[in-house]
């Protein structure tokens, strides 16, 4: 049986943006016109849950209308030659639809919901969540997403996966959203590391990091060629 090196791929909003999903920091971003405090915090949920639900209902509709792009597809194809784990900051399911089998969502999943009383039991849904839609425990359903000021409960699992990486790849993230940006520091120092993004952030403190400053769907071909030399 062929031994497959453990390849961990960490993705951010940039990869989904190329499927038409606007990002938080774009000048025409999805959140423009919405203050974070009004739609993405526990305080917003307590103050105006209907507004929060409508905001995420719109996001869910956008995700369902989007399609995986070339970068998602190439990452899924790496499973032929590597033991691939995808750790993503994105709440969409584009990695799964492209064929990736091991995906950890740091910030939740927009196509799942949970009771406001229980953050562990998840329910799939395909239509809008409305006020009055109740979970079996009587709590109002809310999107299964991590809001600002909520703990990133999957961070420990992500760190454990990252520590075992034999190759670490970052695609489409500015590496400024914490604690997710800390993942690079959990890698073994001697392993190959790659960063593909349309704008490379200041990261001179990361040793032996190969950078490709291109959009994900364009730079992914170059990155794919680089990874071929690590196939056993």
Strands 122-124 and 6-11: unpaired
179: cis peptide before it, omega within 30°?
yes
Active site residue 95: no
Q: Which of 72, 95, 105, 107 is catalytic?
A: 107
CB-based contact 90:15 (threshold 8 Å): yes
> Catalytic residues, which ones?
107
């Amino acid at each position: 049986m062929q031994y497959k090196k453990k390849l961990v791929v960490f993705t951010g909003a940039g990869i989904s943006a190329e499927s038409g999903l606007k990002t938080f920091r774009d000048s025409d971003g999805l959140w423009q016109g919405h203050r974070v405090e009004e739609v993405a915090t526990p305080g917003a949920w307590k103050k105006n849950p209907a507004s929060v639900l409508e905001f995420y209902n719109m996001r869910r509709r956008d995700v369902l209308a989007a399609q995986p792009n070339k970068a998602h597809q190439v990452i899924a194809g790496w499973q032929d030659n590597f033991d691939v784990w995808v750790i993503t900051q994105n709440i969409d399911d584009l990695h799964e639809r492209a064929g990736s089998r091991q995906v950890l969502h740091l910030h939740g999943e927009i196509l799942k919901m949970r009771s406001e009383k229980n953050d562990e039991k998840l329910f799939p849904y395909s239509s809008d969540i409305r006020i009055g839609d109740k979970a079996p425990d009587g709590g109002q359903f809310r999107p299964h997403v991590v809001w600002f000021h909520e703990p990133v409960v999957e961070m420990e699992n992500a760190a454990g996966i990252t520590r075992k990486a034999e190759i670490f790849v970052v695609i489409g993230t500015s590496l400024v959203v914490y604690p997710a940006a800390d993942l690079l520091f959990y890698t073994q120092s001697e392993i190959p590391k790659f960063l593909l993004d349309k704008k490379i952030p200041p990261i001179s403190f990361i040793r032996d990091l190969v950078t490709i400053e291109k959009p994900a769907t364009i730079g992914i071909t170059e990155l794919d060629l680089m990874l071929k030399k690590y196939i056993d």
